[in-house]
Every structure is written in C-alpha cells, then in structure tokens.
Amino acid sequence: MRIEIVVFDGVDEMDVVGPFEVWGTAARMGRLELTLVGLDGPVEVTGMNGLQFRATDSLGNTNPDAVFVPGGGWGSRAEKGAWAEVQRGELPARLAELAPKLSWVGSVCTGSMLLAAAGLTKGRAATTHHTAWEDLREAGTDLKPNRVVDDGDLITAGGITSGIDLAFWIVERELDADLAAEIAKFMEYQPARDIWRR
C-alpha cells in the first residue's frame, strides 16, 4: 500500500507527524510506502507553528493507493492553511480528480473541509475538528462525532491527535491487527477505539 500525505503552508504539524509516525514505522518494516507530497511537486512548506516539511513529490505522482489530507488554520480563517487552500480551490479540485482512482482517501481535523470542498463528503459519514462541525454539516455531510469515522473509501478523524488513531485503524484494517498492536507497543500508545463504521 502506498500512502501520500499532502502538505501545504499553514498545515497543523500534529496532523502530519502523528499519522506519519505510525505509518513511518510500518514503512520501515516494509509493510507500506509513505511519501509527503505537495500540490505541484517537491516543495518546502511551513506549518502553522513554524515546523518545516519537505515534500519530495507531487500529489498523485507516485501512483498512490491512498491520499491523506491534514488540516490547520480553518477556525481562524488563516491566510495559510486548510481555509486558504479551500479558497484557492486547486487542492480540492485535484483531490476530486484523484479520489476515484484511490482505494481510500482520508483526513484529520479540518482536512475534511478540503475533502468537503472536493465534493467527497456530501451525503457521506465523516468527522472533523469540533470547531468545524457546523461547516461540515453545511457541506451536506452526515457528521459523526467519533474520533474516527470509516465510511469505506472515505476515512476521517476528528481533531488533531485523532489522526494517530486513524493511522492505527488503517494499519489494522488494511494490513494486520497484530502489526498495529506491535507498533502501538513500540510507540507506547493506546489507540482509541472510538471508531464509527458503516
């Protein structure tokens, strides 16, 4: 399984590094492939708290099986972050184009608002950071207040740290429950089991 994590200026750092820690461990074990990507090729971006990320490829270029979208900057309507990316429109358009070719698309926090802008959550079960629940509902989404919402090929997580729980759920669902348990033990983390499933 090949997963691309999209990064952009203003992204919430934990939205990226939490899932990356889980999937990166699985990647080191040879169980999946993981890449940070930018919208249009290799790029260095700065997160909302100043941490810099280097994306080594462009979205969709590595023939991914899945794409994961973080959030950040939605509630404050920041000039950089998920809100800004929705206003620009390019990232949601690319996600809409790419999604039918993927096994699943996922998000954490207000990354789900980028999926909503792409038309991917309309009429589907999903979640986001609690400060954006009403925005997600207004986009026609069947909001679920769980930490992780699994609607088949659409998998979303609530606020910030719940991306770690989503990452563990993906390892369990797509690879192996024993592998997920092994990684959790190594990380000294107890994944939350607040998972809504269709």
* Radius of gyration, CA atoms only, the chain: 15
> Which tokens sit at 97?
């184009």
Nearest to 1 by CA among 36, 28, 34: 34
Q: 22 and 171 in contact (C-beta within 8 Å)?
A: yes
Q: 19 and 5 in contact (C-beta within 8 Å)?
A: yes
Residue 30, H or E segment: none
Q: How far apart are CA 121 and CA 192, in angstroms?
A: 23
Catalytic (active site) residue 109: yes
Selected catalytic residue, list 26, 109, 113, 115:
109
Nearest to 159 by CA among 183, 123, 122, 192: 192
Q: How far apart are CA 38 and CA 7, in angstroms?
A: 6
What are φ and ψ of residue 131, in 5° steps? -70, -15
Active site residues: 109
